[in-house]
Amino acid sequence: MDIETTTSPAPAADFVLKLQGVCAGYGASRVLHELTLDLRESETLVVMGRNGVGKTTLVETIMGLTQHHAGQILLRGKPVERLQAHERNRAGIAWVPQQREVFPSLTVEENLLVVAREGEWNLERVYGLFPRLRERRDNYGDQLSGGEQQMLALGRALMTNPQVLLLDEPVEGLAPLVVQEMLTAIDRMRGAGRMSILLVEQKYEQALAHSERCVVIDHGSVVHEGASRDMLADHALIERLLGLSH
């Protein structure tokens, strides 16, 4: 399927993550079909699409949690598609799943320290990003609200000091004030360091406003790519690709 773009081809860039012709799914069932995309240095790329088109499968494929059938996944030019999930994490890919999956029997601080690696993201910096976690540092994971668990899941991913951060619908089901806090945190992460973010999000207006580039997936393939600001301004394009009106 041809990929449409709303801008002229971008100049050469440093690609932190690149997928080339990736086919993947669950068992013999393929969900992604010849999918190709790239994530550039220090950018936030938002992945959008209707329900059931392969967005979460894409994230899980990058993380190594699906059946890989074909294509390459390159992290700074090195293939990682044959690595196990924990090996990809050690190589520099971190994932915040929709289910959060914090450790319920560990305190907030223990959740953060148990995965800590050397780098710019440390305990104090995570607490600076999410002051509420500092306040709840001695509470156990199962004593937190949904919003606090999401902050902890994101903070825990940052403590691994990743090169690539995968966020799968990080504001889904959260109260409006917590949504804004999470989006502010994502903006602060974008403005600091060299980490690149791949953001899957259904709330398209918020996602486009907090990213540099976007891709739209349909039937397991990329059908559109371009600048987020251009797509945010093109309501007809949003309606056609996502079935959503402004």
- pLDDT tens for residues 16-55? 999 999 999 999 999 999 999 999 999 999 999 999 999 9
Q: What is the pLDDT of residue 7?
A: 45
Q: How far apart are CA 103 and CA 105, in angstroms?
A: 6
Question: Around 201, how many Cα atoms within 13 Å sit in the side-chain half-sphere?
Answer: 26
pLDDT the model gives residue 99: 82
Position 244 scores a pLDDT of 57
- One-letter identity of residue 239: E
Q: Which residues lie closer than 8 Å to 94 by C-beta, 6 or more apart? A: 157, 158, 160, 162, 164, 165, 166
What type of residue is 81? E
Which of 73, 84, 82, 134 has the alpha carbon at shortest distance from 108? Answer: 134
- What are the pLDDT digits (tens) for 223-242? 999 999 999 999 999 999 99
Q: CA angle at residue 214 from 201 to 246, to 5 degrees?
A: 65
What is the rounded average pLDDT of the residues 125-135? Answer: 96
State the first-to-last Cα distance of the chain, in angstroms, to the nearest integer.
Answer: 27
Contact 182, 154 (CB under 8 A): yes
Supply angle C-alpha 16, 150, 54, rounded to 5: 55
